[in-house]
Chains A and B, each alone.
Chain A
Amino acid sequence: MTQSMIINGKEHDIDVDGDMPLLWFLRDKLELTGTKFGCGSGLCGACTVHVNGQAMRSCITTVSSLTDKKITTIEGLSQHGDHPLQQAWLNNNVPQCGYCQAGQIMNAASLLAVNTAPTDQEVQTAMQGNICRCGTYQRIKKAISEAAGILSKEA
């Protein structure tokens, strides 16, 4: 029987080698290129997606481990690109090259989903696996705290 997973609300058969990391299934098979390749070893966070709501490094997560799981990528984080984090990213002009930002946003979204009022220390601890070589960290911190402010008001 064919195994499948749900990606951004849509069911997809896992019709590739089960050892293939989700990253390459997304990028090369489904041509969902918003999720980025940075290191291939779970060291930089550029490939971060959500698996059942939790941030995971898709470059080291095999597709065989994802049967019936719900995957969310940056393309599926919000319907209209208006997740509070996406808006805060725009308000603060966070991206420079922008390559790591999908991973940054997905990682931050996973944090805010369980903690709408993280301390600065909690933000840093949660985000330390995500590298930005352009050096946008100051704005990332500010944008997360801004989005957290909006989310905690909604909560």
Chain B
Amino acid sequence: MTISKVSRRVFLKGASIATGGLVIAVNFPANALAQKGIVEHTSVNLNAFIHLEENGDTVIYCGRCEMGQGISTALPSAVADEMEADWQRVTVKQGDADEKFGPQATGGSASIRVMYQPMREAGATAKAMLIAAAAKVWKTSPDNCFAQAHFIINKTNQQKLGYGELASIAANMPIPEIPTLKKKSDFNYIGKKLPRHDQGEVVVGKRIYGVDTKLPGLKYAAIIHCPVLGGSLKSLDKSEAIKMKGVSDIVEIPRFDIPFGSIGGVAVVADNSWTAQQAVKKLKIEWNLGENAIYNTKEYKQQLVANVEKPATLATERGDIDNAFKTAKYKMSATYTGGHLSHAPMEPNASVVWVQKDSCEVWASTQSPADIQKVLGQYLKRKPTDIIVHVAMAGGAFGRKFKCDYVHEAAVISEKTGVPIQLIWTREEDMRTGYYHSINAQHIEASVDDNGNVTGWLHRAAFPSITSLFNPSLKRATKQNLQDVTNHLFGIENFRAESGDAKAHTRIGWYRAVYAIFYGFAFGTFADELANKAGKDSFSFVNQLFDNNKNEEQQEQVQRAKKVLAVVAKKSAWHKRSKLPKGQAVGLAVHYSFQSYVAMAVHVEVNGDDIKVLNVDCAIDCGQLLNLDGATAQMEGAVVMGMSLALSTEVTFRDGAVINSNFHDYPVMRITDMPNVSVHITDSDESPTGLGEPGVAPFAPALSNAVFAASGKRYRDLPFKPLMV
């Protein structure tokens, strides 16, 4: 969706009197009316995002979903900035599922990219209406008025009218066609270090997450799923479970074969979550496991490697790679692999759903409220817009909560029991029956000429792709899935991308950074391997690869990528790396993804097999920055998630089922592993882009390069140190 479409949709809705109130045609302030008892209450909606109370208190709605990335501070702060609102007077509220907020599906690091402009316009529109209202009261020209910190000020006589006083009048002012936006130099909040709006609630335990929803008459459910995708219930003995005190129902949930529908399971309903969980353990269940019971990731990964080490299905080609290979001074090749990953957000999947005869109401941690409406609408045979979805704060999500199978399950249970249901998945179910980042193998062959230049690059990737969710018969990743290989910013004249066979045997889902995880790893690591083989400085070598890019359309991208790489080289003292103590080294990597540029310099100490990450310098170019602190936090977090997947996390399947179960056998990074992270942000006037994901990709290749420099050992398989489960 283009920005202009979003804007139009948002602003055509226009203003309204929210509660009570007369339509006021007056030439003195509204609150005076209120004080005289003429008007009872006059809070107004200036547009879909802005609600003004008569006392000036302002609610700004966030339409995108909050899961810790800080979007519910970032976007409303852009509204407040353009509106000249005083942030202290602003309360942020999460918008329910409603198309008036524009697209709400929150993924692909797209929120800021898509919503920055509409949010500014929402604020600027409100400001223009408030100015028009004040001008009307003062019988002066709007040009004679300006807005500042929740007041409109009369330039002639310095009189002031508060936003609350003007609210009801402003609501009746015409909506400006094209609002005037502020200059960068006038920003109050955009690009500044504005703290999260909800931190105060977090530190006292009052922030309400999806898992915290309480309703009168609420019942609690726990669930166990068929361990293998595509399986079904063969037999169920519920006699022991149903006898338990506090257990009220046992509900079979058949597989709902649409994207984001339940994979099928059995749920227990009880007075509290713990009883429900205990009763699930007493169910005696046999499953028909189905055809995916053949799935073993160890063998599957070996097969992927075999599939990329032989000719595969052509995705894209340019130049004459065969000739480049034939005339090369030398050729080099390497194969890289990675395992499945589980998002494992700290808050497991959770929602409350109440299905009634004529209504369905949902409270859920979610990244995509419209998908909940779609799936529940389809299941209940109701219009999607009849499903009311309250978007709750998600306790982490990382892509997992884009998929609403857990909400669908709560709806099934509520429909069958007639009561509001809170379904919380246990950690074990979350880890064993989730959606997983693609297991993958990549093979690169490159040719190098007499000058040490890379002349040809063959890139074969094999991985079950997310597309398989929508097309289960898919045999391999599509050309579209490989587009970031094809469009990589390295300048390779003779290039070919091929897709190796990789049928999915489990549900593949977006995981923070998605394909950039393994593309970034393969490109970033192989470039370093090429540099080492050529006896060249890796930093200069990568710059040469960028300089070889003669594609006019990519020149700006190439320059921006080079710039962030140069920043981390400088900050990490790359050119003085030979002076580091024995066993220590720095590795570099840069990756462009989700339209943002991120480079990392990882400084390690290696002692035998022990890898200690000491420092990470991270440089980003995300265009115009929206929130300095939020951007910095996203990078710090990306380093940690990058470390987990580089060093230790992997989901293993045996006979179709996941054998990991909890954090003891899915060892995510802990505080003891935390390096010092320094984030360096490029000052830019370019269009703003997102940062939720791009920081994850460069970590693993930079780490592999650092470890190699320190020890001579090259890690090509993610994670470097898998736990043997």
Contact = CB atoms under 8 A, between A and B. Distances in A.
Given A97-B395, A98-B395, A136-B637, A28 B274 contact: yes
A86 B220 CA distance: 32
A127 B347 CA distance: 19
**Which of B67, B202, B344 has the most chain A CB within a 10 Å cutoff?**
B202
A79 B336 CA distance: 54
Q: How large is the interface on A (under 10, 10 to 19, 20 to 34, 35 or more residues)?
A: 35 or more
A35 B346 CA distance: 12
A131 B348 CA distance: 14
A40 B664 CA distance: 12
B52 interface: no
Contacts of A123: 671
A53 interface: no
A90 B122 CA distance: 29
Contact of A128 (B68, B641, B671): B671
B394 interface: yes
Interface in A1-29: 16-17, 20-21, 23-24, 27-29
Contacts of A140: 671
Contacts of A81: 200, 203-204
Nearest to A74: B205
B199 A90 contact: yes
A111 interface: no
Interface in A92-148: 93-102, 105, 123-125, 127-141
A94 B668 CA distance: 19
Contacts of B725: none
Contact of B662 (A23, A29, A43, A89): A43
A132 B344 CA distance: 11
Interface string B659-703: 000111000111111101100000000000000000000000000
Given A33-B208, A41-B427, A89-B203, A133 B636 contact: no
A97 B203 contact: no
Contacts of B212: 27, 33
A35 B396 CA distance: 16
Interface in A43-73: 43-44, 46, 73
B436 to A, nearest CB: 16
Interface residues of chain A: helix, strand, loop or mixed (majority): loop
A21 B670 CA distance: 25
B93 interface: no
Interface residues of chain B: helix, strand, loop or mixed (majority): loop
Nearest to A38: B346
Given A96-B633, A133-B346, A27 B202 contact: no
Interface in B537-575: none
Contacts of A36: 209, 211, 346-347, 395
Contacts of B277: 40
A51 B703 CA distance: 41
Interface string B40-79: 0000000000000000000000000001111000000000
Given A37-B424, A141-B671, A98 B211 contact: no
A64 B32 CA distance: 60
A27 B287 CA distance: 33
B280 to A, nearest CB: 12
A31 interface: yes
A39 B663 contact: yes
Contact of B214 (A23, A31, A134): A31
Given A38-B427, A90-B199, A137-B640, A97 B67 contact: yes
Nearest to B643: A135
Contacts of A75: 204-206
A89 B200 CA distance: 9
Nearest to A27: B273
A138 B272 contact: no
29 contacts: A24-B272, A32-B205, A33-B209, A34-B204, A34-B206, A35-B205, A36-B209, A36-B395, A38-B427, A39-B427, A39-B662, A41-B662, A41-B663, A46-B346, A77-B204, A90-B195, A90-B203, A97-B68, A97-B394, A98-B395, A99-B345, A100-B346, A125-B672, A127-B671, A130-B671, A131-B668, A134-B396, A135-B638, A138-B677
Among all A-B residue pairs, the 8 with the closest Cβ atoms:
A34-B205, A135-B640, A97-B68, A99-B395, A74-B205, A135-B637, A98-B202, A28-B272
Interface of A: 16-17, 20-21, 23-24, 27-29, 31-41, 43-44, 46, 73-75, 77, 81, 86, 89-90, 93-102, 105, 123-125, 127-141
